[in-house]
């Protein structure tokens, strides 16, 4: 997967809390205890012989009045319930030296016993609406994706295919120069077939290490403005197909102009449009939206606010998560 910078390495940890076991590189969402919480603070779980056996919770470890164990279980069910092999045990909900901040320790494993159970932790902030996982603050609660879903419904303004309604909104954050984004397009096309009631939005997230990405994004904005969403997706497919051409300035110009022509538009007019402050500002606003949603890599799919890293993730797993989110949100199949 492509990441904006090394400083975001821990944000992959946040993704993994909602999508464990999909990508080996994103296994840290609720990370192991940081250095100040020594390994001794989370007792080692025994290696499973079949189904996992977790350390028995001690009532003495539940010293915080909030959140309750039941609230943590409900939160984790929203995150992990799509995977019927995943099991967990809330082992502790403890007071900390900071008023209103609780430390939660959870053991996680799978029913097959193929993976050794692991102990992880996060901190619930005062008010019970957010947690600290690693170095990020993310939503907590019975409906942890509702806040991000609302933001996307209000601010995701990219071209779309499928439904005009936003009951099931799949927002892809992608970079035209990202190889994993290119690879993900086949899955995105299949999602459009398998979820005809979904609104599937393309949202620009050009990364700074890709020199041609921002201009490609601006071209895409202008193609959508002048030709509509159908023209945009024709343009996008052509850019991804010719992605290697973006590696040099001259190649990028040829690649983008060719993609514009395939979309039935005038390359000169699109180039002039892409250089305007308004369009550059629209690309910047899309980048800001990604950052406000704690998205730190491309490609990422937001499924009604749930972050799903789709680079290298199997189609069946992506589909499974979407179907589960539909169930959580009460969307008729």
pLDDT at 311: 92
pLDDT reported for residue 31: 34
- The residue extents of the domains of the chain are 32-133, 148-328
**169-174 and 199-204 as β-strands: parallel, antiparallel, unpaired?**
parallel
> What is the CATH code of the structural domain delimited by 148-328?
3.40.30.10
Nearest to 239 by CA among 179, 284, 299, 313: 179
Q: Name the packing angle between helices 267-274 and 249-262 (round to 10°).
A: 120
Q: And the tokens for 50?
A: 């079949």
Please provide the distance, in angstroms rounded to a whole number, between the alpha carbons at the two ends of the chain.
31
Distance between CA atoms of residues 143 and 67, nearest Å: 14
pLDDT by 10s per residue, the chain, length 333: 665 433 223 333 434 444 433 332 222 233 333 333 433 456 665 555 577 888 889 999 999 999 999 999 999 999 999 999 999 999 999 999 999 999 999 999 988 877 788 888 999 999 999 999 888 888 999 999 999 999 999 999 999 999 999 999 999 999 999 999 999 999 999 999 999 999 999 999 999 999 999 999 999 999 999 999 999 999 999 999 999 999 999 999 999 999 999 999 999 999 999 999 999 999 999 999 999 999 999 999 999 999 999 999 999 999 999 999 999 999 976
Q: How large is the greatest C-alpha to C-alpha distance in the chain, in angstroms?
A: 70
Which run of H or E residues covers position 251? helix 249-262
Do 86 and 52 meet the contact criterion of CB atoms below 8 Å apart? no
> In what order do the strands lie in the sheet containing 300-303?
160-162, 199-204, 169-174, 300-303, 306-309
Q: Are 32 and 43 in contact (CB under 8 A)?
A: no
Which pTM value belongs to this model? Answer: 0.85
DSSP class of residue 145? Answer: T
Contact 213, 207 (CB under 8 A): yes
Using DSSP, state whether 102 is helix, strand or coil: strand
**What span, in angstroms and rounded, lies between the C-alpha atoms of 145 and 328?**
10
Rounded to whole angstroms, the Cα distance separating 49 from 211 reads: 51
* Alpha-carbon torsion (255, 228, 310, 305), positive or negative: positive
Q: Is the peptide bond before 61 cis (omega within 30 degrees of 0)?
A: no
Residue 272, pLDDT score:
98
The reported pLDDT for the residue numbered 30 is: 33
Q: What is the DSSP string of 199-233?
A: EEEEEE---TT-TTHHHHHHHHHHHHHHHHHHHHH
């Amino acid at each position: 997967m492509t990441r904006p910078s090394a400083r975001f390495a821990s944000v992959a940890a946040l993704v993994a809390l909602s999508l464990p076991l999909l990508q080996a590189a994103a296994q840290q969402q609720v990370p192991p205890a940081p250095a100040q919480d020594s390994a001794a603070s989370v007792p080692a779980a025994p290696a499973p012989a079949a189904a996992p056996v977790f350390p028995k919770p001690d009532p003495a470890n539940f010293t915080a009045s909030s959140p309750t164990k039941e609230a943590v279980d409900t939160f984790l069910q929203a995150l992990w319930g799509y995977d019927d092999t995943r099991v967990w045990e809330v082992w502790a909900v403890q007071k900390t030296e900071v008023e209103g901040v609780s430390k939660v320790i959870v053991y996680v494993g799978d029913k097959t016993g193929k993976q050794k159970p692991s102990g992880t932790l996060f901190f619930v902030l005062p008010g019970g609406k957010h947690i600290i996982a690693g170095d990020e603050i993310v939503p907590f609660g019975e409906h942890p994706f509702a806040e991000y879903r609302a933001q996307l419904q209000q601010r995701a303004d990219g071209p779309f295919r499928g439904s005009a309604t936003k009951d099931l909104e799949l927002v892809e954050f992608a970079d035209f120069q990202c190889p994993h984004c290119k690879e993900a397009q086949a899955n995105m096309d299949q999602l459009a077939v398998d979820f005809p009631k979904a609104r599937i939005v393309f949202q620009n997230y050009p990364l700074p290490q890709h020199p041609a990405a921002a201009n490609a994004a601006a071209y895409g904005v202008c193609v959508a403005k002048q030709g509509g969403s159908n023209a945009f997706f024709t343009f996008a497919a052509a850019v991804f197909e010719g992605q290697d051409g973006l590696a040099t300035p001259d190649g990028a110009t040829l690649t983008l102009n060719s993609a514009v022509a395939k979309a039935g538009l005038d390359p000169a007019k699109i180039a002039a449009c892409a250089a305007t402050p308004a369009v550059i500002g629209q690309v910047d606003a899309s980048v800001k939206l990604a950052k406000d949603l704690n998205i730190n890599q491309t490609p990422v799919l937001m499924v009604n606010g749930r972050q799903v890293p789709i680079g290298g993730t199997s189609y069946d797993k992506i589909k499974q998560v979407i179907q589960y989110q539909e169930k959580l949100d009460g969307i008729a199949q």
